[in-house]
Chains A and B, each alone.
Chain A
Amino acid sequence: MKREYKRPEGLSKTIMRYCPGCGHSIVHRIIGETIDELGIREKTIAIAPVGCSVFLYEYFNCDSVQVAHGRAPAVATGIKRVNPELIVFSYQGDGDLAAIGTAELIHSATRGENFTVIFINNAIYGMTGGQQAPTTMPGQKTTTNPFGRDPKLAGYPIRVCEMLATLDGPVYLERTAVNKAVNVLKTKKAIKKAFQLQVEKKGYSLIEVLAPCPTGWGISPLKACEYVDKVMIPYYPLGVYKDLTQVK
């Protein structure tokens, strides 16, 4: 019998240590499959962030660079400018990308650097124990919002795709989710397209993935998937925010 479902070559054999119900491992697998399908493993560089996915370099079977909190797009810029033939992706959480790394995010996007940003938006700081993220929902409780996020005191969540869509630099921006099968498939399609665009030297792309964090949110994995649907998606609508490949 032919084996259809197997570990992608793009992933290493290391067992992922993410919590049950976490979105990271799904997105890792999608990237691994994409690397295989595009045949780019030997020239891919993964940029590992600070956050739950800090050990990304253990999970991918390609060269990688582990970087400081928020600085992945700057490091990716350096790599890509020195060696434009490499395929470079940064993988960043909401705190890394939309708080401490906001400047690096926006300026690499406006320069239209030819790399791919995978942005995991789970509305919380997971690794440090569940503090407020720039994308934490109004009213959402975190370890630093014990009474729920009050926008009057802690500001409003940042919509990254909408913000970047105002820039001329990016070529492709899409928000997807991994809370149910249909959304996982759409995420796969979006991530593959983003990598494909990089291979074709089309320019900057960012895929924002709404991901459940049952541990950080203090709810069951199933409830977490529902939370994405009921609370996050209405605030962060899924869809394509920019796609210059469609512009004739």
Chain B
Amino acid sequence: MNPDIIKYKTGEKILLKGNEAFAEGTVRAGCRFFSGYPITPQNEIPEYLSWRLFEVGGTFIQAESEVSAINMIYGAAACGARALTSSSGPGISLKQEGISYIAAAELPFLYANVMRGGPGLGNIAPCQSDYFQATRGGGHGDYRIIVLAPDSAYEMGNFPKLAYDTAEKYRNPCMILADGLIGQMMEPLEFNFDFVDVEKIPTKDYVVGNCKGREMRVINTLHMSTDILEKHNWDLYRKYEKIKSEFTLFEEKYTDDADIVIVAYGTAARISMAAIMKGREQGIKIGLLRPITLWPFPEKIISQLAQKTGKVLAVEMNTGQLVEDVQMAVNGKAEVYFYGRPGGNIPTGDEILGVAKEALKMKNVEPGRINVLNKI
């Protein structure tokens, strides 16, 4: 490997937008193939990679559509490359066809959704409108995607290594679910992993090309025999269960003495911290459980915290998606509250502190039911 391509030393403090940190992080983690289609608020990712991949001898293609982009990824992943695409909600919708195929073929790759307001064309402001789309698979068929939710430029830059390693370990697509705020915001970060030498990534035993001395290989998602497809579905199920048991990440803050726990991810978690800090100054004990993997969902810890505090508040930038997973994790054993700001509006710390106080005051609330605290 030519050391000139490294660009940033491990631990060196740099100032980048979340989108740029992510783009550099993917290259650093070994990405050498990108195809995508422009959409706000993720355009810095392809713009950055258009010159950066050129520097490292990789491939950058601006595709004719998201549909084509994801299928180029299918081809690149079939050859074993660390491939990447990125988009925002409307583009991810178009990519779902290809994502379903790639998940079915059990090929690893990475994609990012820098979320904006929806549904439809919505707007380009930061939003968390695509949680369902991300965590339920998104496309047709019975499959799952590993979903990581960064809350900073630091995590945008460093998650790609974790994402590629995990995707390849389980032969499963992995996605980064960010939003316009995480993508557009610039803040200091450093890379916590060394630049990956792609030539040292072991060759995979399932990739196509150069079949000399072995049986031909088929990357296939068509199984006309119902028995074969059922077996494939159960094989995938077992894989997903294994991922669930081995790869669930979350961050816990101030939960030890908390009277209520906020469950929030990404930007919503960041802002909830402002509420928590301010609350502490006033003697109000709020804790935070930030899921880092949205799938697998950290249901066990949420269940434990819910039983301990008796009150759980989901804060999201939508009208209530993650809260349904929280409700399932709580399983009727605690009060479940929800506060959301959809449409691209971002809640303030004071706003969240206000609803947390309200939830703390509420009595005789039926456990397990979602109580929406927005005045609507």
Contact = CB atoms under 8 A, between A and B. Distances in A.
B281 to A, nearest CB: 54
Interface stretch (A59-67, A151-159, A191-199, A210-218): A59-67
Contact of B78 (A43, A54, A55, A78): A78
Interface size class, chain B: 35 or more
Given A45-B209, A67-B74, A78-B76, 6 more contacts: A42-B211, A43-B211, A57-B220, A63-B216, A64-B208, A75-B72
Quick one: which of A48, A65, A77, A107 has the most chain B CB within 10 A? A65
Nearest to A41: B211
A82 interface: yes
Contacts, number: 124
A42 B210 contact: yes
23 contacts: A12-B216, A42-B210, A42-B211, A43-B209, A43-B210, A63-B217, A64-B216, A65-B208, A65-B220, A66-B222, A67-B71, A68-B71, A71-B67, A74-B63, A74-B67, A75-B78, A77-B61, A77-B72, A82-B33, A82-B75, A86-B209, A103-B67, A104-B64
A103 B64 contact: yes
A63 B80 CA distance: 14
Quick one: which of A54, A60, A63, A71 has the most chain B CB within 10 A? A63
A186 to B, nearest CB: 29
A133 interface: no
Nearest to B217: A63
A123 interface: no
A74 B218 contact: no
B171 to A, nearest CB: 15
Q: Chain A's interface: helix, strand, loop or mixed, by majority?
A: helix
A223 interface: no
A83 interface: yes
Interface residues of A, number: 34
B209 A107 contact: no
Interface of B: 32-33, 35, 59, 61, 63-65, 67-69, 71-81, 83, 97-98, 101, 208-212, 216-222
A71 B68 contact: yes
A71 B71 contact: yes
Contacts of A71: 67-68, 71, 74, 98
B132 to A, nearest CB: 23
Interface of A: 12, 41-43, 45, 48, 54-55, 57, 60-68, 71, 74-83, 86, 103-104, 106-107
A215 to B, nearest CB: 19
B101 A76 contact: no
A78 B79 contact: yes
Contacts of A81: 33, 59, 61, 72, 76
Contacts of B33: 78, 81-82
A196 B35 CA distance: 28
A63 B211 contact: yes
A76 B68 contact: no
A54 B222 contact: yes
Quick one: which of A48, A74, A83 has the most chain B CB within 10 A? A74
Quick one: which of A12, A80, A83, A106 has the most chain B CB within 10 A? A83
